[in-house]
Structure 1
């Protein structure tokens, strides 16, 4: 009998949670739903996640980890302007994969109002995004791509609002703005 790779099994379960969230929201992403989606036993799922809240928290943390890994890979782009746009773009639904992830993330954010563990993760992620944007803007100023007297904190607040606003519009009213228009707006917010 083949031995189960715990990391692989966790990924399989999390992928099932994401599919269920896409199909039917947070209510569908239950242990029972994951059992039906994966064919695994409830005992097998509970071995990895003792509660439904823990399952949701792990899935949400996994989303953030995927985004972080892509951003780190993009950090090798030598042109700072292109690097900044590419890295910050990972926070927006500008491709099919990021649209899927952010749709799932929005479902978790809505659930976080009533789930303390998810609320903690949302707050941690918001802080991490602010820190990331602060680094991006600081680097742009240091490289002369933004004015030297830039108010970093004010620019980060503005950039965060641009990213969140464009993301919300792309997810909820995609006929109002194209991905190319959103990318151009992000580029202007970052580099002008």
Structure 2
């Protein structure tokens, strides 16, 4: 009886090959042939799942965002209860920083994509559903929830604060990647800003 193939597992295997190449050598090195070798599959199989290199790269980028979201949901689950607004914001921002091998890989992958997007904007999403906008909207929603419970100062603008926090985390991630700051220093900086917005809330 022929062995059943989980096509999504196979796509993820190939995307993981894209990630490793992008993280180590930059996105331009992620050719179909190089990705096939890195993923330990045939060139023909890569072309079966992805008819073009661009399709493969976009899928790998989208999967990186999905994987980051899965990590966040796992952290929420570890709490064993519904997270407080401050916990949602803290977990989401902490997960953007390269603090362990998996988040380091994801951070390097995102950096490689953003560098490549300087000359090819189609490699990253530009609409309202892109990961950056989704993160900002999530944080803004938590800040509004905090304001409704008098946990967050009423005077702040949730949307502007959310943009600032997301940009801060992205910038710190890049700085940590090049050794400008340690992960611990980056986490402390994020926590300082969160504590400013959620005074008297525990970490």
3-state SS of the aligned residue for 2:156?
Answer: coil
Structure 1 residues without counterparts, runs of 5 or longer: none
- Helix, strand or coil at the partner of 1:120: coil
Q: CA deviation at 1:116?
A: 4.1
Q: Determine the structure 2 residue equivalent to 1:107.
A: 112
Is 1:8 aligned with 2:6? no
Q: Does 1:140 align with 2:146?
A: yes
Alpha-carbon distance between aligned partners in 2 of 1:26 and 1:137, rounded to the nearest angstrom: 36
Distance 1:140 1:161 in 2: 21
Q: Where in structure 2 are there 5+ consecutive unaligned residues?
A: 197-203
Moved more, 24-33 or 84-93: 84-93
Secondary structure at 2:96 match in 1 = coil
Considering fraction of residues, name the structure with more helix. Answer: 1
1:145–1:191 CA contact under 8 A, matched in 2: no
Q: Structure 2 length normalisation: TM-score? A: 0.83
Q: Check 1:20–1:60 CA distance in 2 against 1; reply closer, same or farther (3 A cut).
A: same
Which residue does the alignment assign to 1:85?
A: 90
Query: Which residue number corresponds to residue 57 of structure 1?
Result: 58
Distance apart, 1:79 and its partner CA: 5.4
The aligned residue for residue 18 of structure 1 is: 19
Distance 2:74 2:150 in 1: 24
Question: Aligned residue pairs: how many?
Answer: 190
Of stretches 102-111 and 158-167 in structure 1, the one that deviates more from structure 2 is: 158-167
Aligned-residue CA RMSD in angstroms? 2.1
Q: Equivalents in 1 of 2:32, 2:126: separation in Å?
A: 20
